[in-house]
Amino acid sequence: MEAQSQPENCIAERYRILGTLGEGGTGITYVAQDLQSGQKVALKALVLRNITDWKVLELFKREARILSQLNHPAIPRYLDSFQVDTEKDRVFYLVQHLAPGQSLYAWVNNGLNPNSTQVQGLAEKILEILVYLQDFTPPIIHRDLKPQNIIRHPKKGIFLVDFGAVQDTYRHTVTRGSTVVGTYGYMAPEQFRGHADLSTDLYGLGTTLLFLLTGKSPAELPRKQLKIQFRPYINADKAFGDWLERMLEPASEERFSSAKEALAVLRGEQPLPPKIKPAQKPRISSKSPISIDLNEEKGELKIEIPPIGLRSDRAQNFAILTFIWSGVLVLMAWAIVTLSLVLSPANYFWFGLFVAIGLWMLRAFLYSDFSRTRIEADAQTFQLQQWLWGMRHQKIRFNTKDITEAQLSLLFLPFPKEPLTVCEVRTRPRKVRFGALLPASEKKWLIRELTAFLKSFPT
C-alpha cells in the first residue's frame, strides 16, 4: 500500500487515516476522519497493481453503484467514491458511514450467548432490511450474509454491511476471488455454481442465526444430503425450529420465496407454507449401467456411459445390418479371388463403393457399440471423452458458458429409413453428439440431467 495510506496520512486532502479495519490480498479498509464534517467514516481502498482478477475491480465498482442507490437506516450511507493516481499506481476508494458497534461474530466470540427470543428479534430486524433490498427492481441480493457483516450496537440497533459481494470487504477488506462469492459455511449451495436468487440471502441469514444459537460455524455441524442437522444443537421451540429448517433447505426452491414471506411466517402472520415438491426425474431402470455424479456444492457433474454393446434394439439392429453387409462383402471378395473374375472399371467403382460403405459401417458399429464415454462439467469447462478398448479416440473441451442448449436431435442416415435420436450439446461454434444407440429412456434422462445442470449457471 502506498505511503499516503498509512495512519495519520491524508487521502485526497480530506480523509485522515485513523486506523485499519481490515486488510486483504488486494486492498485495505480504514477508519478515517472526514476533515470537512469531522465524522468518522469507513474508507475502503483497492490497489490496482495488486489486482490479479479484474472481477475484483468490477465487484468493487458495483458496490459503490449499489450503495449510492440505498437509503435505509440500517445500511451505512454511501458518501463518495474516487480514485487517486500516483506515479507507480492507481488506488480506488469507497467512502461510507462507519457502522457503530461490533459484529455479531465478535459479539459471540466475546462470550455473549443470545437466547432464542433474542435471536428471533435479530432475525426480524435483518429480514426487514432484506425486504427493503428485495423491493428494488431488479432485487438487490447481498450474497455474503454472515455474522461478520452484521454490526450490532446496543442502542442504535443492527447494520448490514458489505454490498459488493466481495468476501469480507468491510471487516477483512477485499480479497482475491472468483465469480463464486461468499463465505464457506454460510453460502447457499447454489452459490457454488455462481447462482443467486431471492432465497439465497435467506440461507445466509439462517446459517448466521445458527451461529448465534450454537456458537459454532455452520460448517462444523453435521450434514445429511447437504442439509444441516442442527436440531440437537439449539434450544428453541418447534415453531422457530421449523421456520429455521425452511430457511436452511439446500434447494433454493424449497425455502421461502422471499424475505417478505419469511418475515410474515416468523411473526405468525401466516402459516408455514407447504414445501414445493421438486420436479420428478424420469424413471430409469436400476439395471442401467450409466452413472451420474452431481456435486451440488462444487457445481460439478460427471457422467460415465459404458459401452452400449447390444443393450438396445437400435444397437442390435445396427449389429445385424453390419454383419450382413460385412458377410456379403467377404463373400464377394472370396468369389472374385477364387473365380479370378475380371471386373470392368464400372464394376470396380461399385465394388469399391460397397467396400467403403462396409468399412464405414464397421467403424461406426465399433465406435458406437464399444466406446466408453465420460462427460465432466463445471461452471468453467465442459469436456467429453471417448475410449475404445482402452485407447482414447475423442476429446472435446470447451467453455461451459458457450453452451446454448442440450437436446435430443435427429440423425438422418442412408439406412435405416427412420432417423436416430442422438444426445446433442450445442455450443456457439459446434455441435457435440453422443449416445445414438442408447435406449430412448436413457437418452431422455441424460438430456434432462444436463439441461438441469446447465440451468443452474447464470447465462
Supply the residues annotated as catalytic.
144
How far is 126 from 207, CA to CA, in rounded Å?
13
- Taking the CA atoms of residue 122, residue 123, residue 125 and residue 130 in that order, the dihedral angle to the nearest 10 degrees is 150
Please state the φ and ψ torsions of residue 361, each to the nearest 5 degrees: -65, -40
How far is 450 from 333, CA to CA, in rounded Å?
46
Residues 32, 40: contact at Cβ < 8 Å?
A: yes
CA 300 to chain centre: 9
Chain position carrying cell 438430456: 447
How far is 417 from 185, CA to CA, in rounded Å?
56
Chain position carrying cell 450474497: 143
Chain position carrying cell 473441451: 397
CB atoms within 10 A of CB 351: 15
CA-wise closest residue to 331 among 304, 301, 358? 358
- The type of residue at 272 is L
44 labelled as ligand-binding? yes
Q: Where is the binding site, in residues?
A: 44
Q: Where is the binding site for ATP, in residues?
A: 44
